[in-house]
Amino acid sequence: MWRQMRVTRDRSSKWFVSSDEYPYEHFASYCSGSAYFITQDLIRPLFETTRSIPFFWIDDYYITGLLPRGIRPTIHANYLYINSLFVVNVDLVEQRFLSPFGLASLAFAHMPLSVNRLLHVWQHLMINSQSAQKYLNRTYI
């Protein structure tokens, strides 16, 4: 969850937002598109709100920031702060996934660009995760 994320005004940035598009200096609270959950009871109200709230090209902010504000005061969407479950540092991703306790403590991560590193972590998960073993041992009819 991002709180008071500064709007990027640097024209050379991929995330540049002009003052015409968004006049404020900070975005209101919203969830990172890397990982967020939406409960089923919010899907229809959020969808219906798209008719009255113009699309904003930063979809993370549009879906988890602007649209939830559009369904208030009828429905109040709550944000759950799960940032401690999210890891961005590549070395920490490997360290936490490859440690004996990592499988229970890490929920989301950005993976490295190296295919070999990704394959190494994936193989470790497949060998050591009870959930993965249950999945791999399923019998299909």
Contact 60, 31 (CB under 8 A): yes
Report residue 80 as tokens. Answer: 């759950």
Q: From CA 20, how far away is CA 44, in angstroms rounded?
A: 29
Mind listing the pLDDT tens digit for each residue in 45-91? 999 999 999 999 999 999 999 999 999 888 888 877 766 666 667 67
Same domain, 109 and 126: yes
Same domain, 33 and 89: no
Mind listing the pLDDT tens digit for each residue in 4-27? 999 999 999 999 999 999 999 999
> CA 123, 111, 37 angle in degrees (round to 5)?
105
pTM: 0.62
Domain that holds residue 107: 84-137
Same domain, 68 and 96: no
Same domain, 47 and 93: no
Return the residue matching tokens 């920490």.
Answer: 92
Same domain, 4 and 50: yes
The total domain count for the chain is 2
Mind listing the pLDDT tens digit for each residue in 103-133? 555 556 666 667 787 788 777 777 776 655 5
